[in-house]
Amino acid sequence: MRSQILEREFLKRCIKFILIEIALINQFCVKVYAQTEISRSFFSPISTDDNWIAYQAQNSNHITNCVTSDIYGGRSVFSAQTFIMKMFIMPPHYKIQFELQFWRFHGENAHSYNPQSPVGTEICGSGSSGEIDQISKSIDHFGNSAIIIIVSKQSSASWGISNFKLFVLKCPKNCHFCDYAGVCQSWYRLLTYFTTLTFTDGQGWEKNNSPYYNSQYCGFQYYGNFLQNQVASINLNLNTPHSMVKILFTFLCSGINNSVTLEVIGDAQLYYYAPILPFITTSNTICGTYFQMGKIYIIGSSHSSPTLTISIVIHPSVNTAQFGISNKGG
């Protein structure tokens, strides 16, 4: 009976937010900066996982020597069920670009960027038929963090990566926010929460109007957990003169296979009301079953008060039928 109760509670659980930013409107100059490398991993010789996390790997040793190069993963190491993940903290920017070599063994479709590439030749010793694909991808992106998750689309093959690089296109100097063209926006970052790789307390946030200090870890640290209808809130002091408020946070949710809606309130005024995000995975591979994650970007209406109370909550959807849960798989 107790296990059934715990299971029901798990199915109602929703992981809440990390990486909170509160911004006020202001003025800045315009100057676009060049691409900057902020991280690289898995250049030979490889000796560590470099803080990448591998889920459902077939071997505890994640490094393979392929004669001409070391790789992260490899035959009988990373399979179609393996996810790898790493969180990055970034300067103000408007675009990210990543580059890597993707090693696929005995594969069909290695990744979405090169689905028709042939099986290839020997790439990592005897019997290692496959291909090494060079991948480069640019993505519009803002906020002070990115969580990169890599998984193979091969149904029954091994894979690995090498020579990973992450770049950003920075915002102009002294600019806290810029648009996707690199033009500085009229915003000043005033308050941030949970914006480091590790933290130890709730930083003033509360659950149902009581102090709440819990954080969890599933490849990265986040603040939570919260259940449906539990309210996460904070009382803010906004001492800088302003006319508007912007809120940015990363929202995570797991264990909910029915339709729910995210609600963000500022001083009893509804700022945001929308269905939460599509599923990243319905398996229990990353951060629990039915895992969802994405950035929430909110610009509130006119605001000049020196105080503001922010509340975040999710509710079961009022009109569950139109969200089509059966079409999501599971």
CATH number of the structural domain spanning residue 120: 2.60.120
The per-residue pLDDT for 139 is 92
Q: What angle (nearest 5°) sits at the alpha carbon of residue 51, between those of residues 55 and 53?
A: 5
Please give the DSSP secondary-structure letter assigned to residue 32.
P
The per-residue pLDDT for 106 is 73
The per-residue pLDDT for 38 is 95
Please give the residue range of the domain that contains residue 320.
2-27+186-328
Tell me: do 47 and 21 sit in the same domain: no
In a domain, 180, yes or no: no
Q: Which residues contact 60 (CB under 8 A, 6 or more apart)?
A: none
Task: Enumerate residue ranges in the chain where pLDDT < 50.
Answer: 1-19, 26-32, 108-112, 115, 118, 318-330
Contact (CB, 8 A) for 53 and 221:
no
Given its phi and psi angles, is residue 209 left (phi above 0), alpha (psi -120 to 50 degrees) or beta?
left
Chosen domain end from 106, 136, 170: 170
In a domain, 293, yes or no: yes
The per-residue pLDDT for 24 is 62
Chosen domain end from 124, 139, 170: 170
In a domain, 50, yes or no: yes
Tell me: do 240 and 279 sit in the same domain: yes
Tell me: do 190 and 311 sit in the same domain: yes
Tell me: do 209 and 322 sit in the same domain: yes
How many Å is the Cα radius of gyration of the chain? 22
Tell me: do 271 and 208 sit in the same domain: yes
Number of folded domains that form the chain: 2
Tell me: do 100 and 208 sit in the same domain: no
Contact (CB, 8 A) for 182 and 168:
no
Question: 59: cis peptide before it, omega within 30°?
Answer: no
Q: Which two tokens stand for residue 280?
A: 């990243």
Chosen domain end from 144, 170, 196: 170
Tell me: do 119 and 48 sit in the same domain: yes
Tell me: do 41 and 160 sit in the same domain: yes
Element holding 265 (H helix, E strand): strand 260-266
Contact (CB, 8 A) for 270 and 310:
no
- Other Cβ atoms less than 10 A from the Cβ of 215: the count is 18
Contact (CB, 8 A) for 275 and 259:
yes
The per-residue pLDDT for 33 is 55
Beta strands 63-65 and 70-74, pairing class: antiparallel
Tell me: do 159 and 282 sit in the same domain: no
Between CA 249 and CA 194 the distance in angstroms is 10
Please give the DSSP secondary-structure letter assigned to residue 278.
P
Tell me: do 142 and 190 sit in the same domain: no
Tell me: do 298 and 199 sit in the same domain: yes
Tell me: do 143 and 269 sit in the same domain: no
SS3 188: strand
Q: Is 112 exposed, middle or buried (0-12, 13-18, 19+ CB in 10 A)?
A: exposed
The per-residue pLDDT for 160 is 96
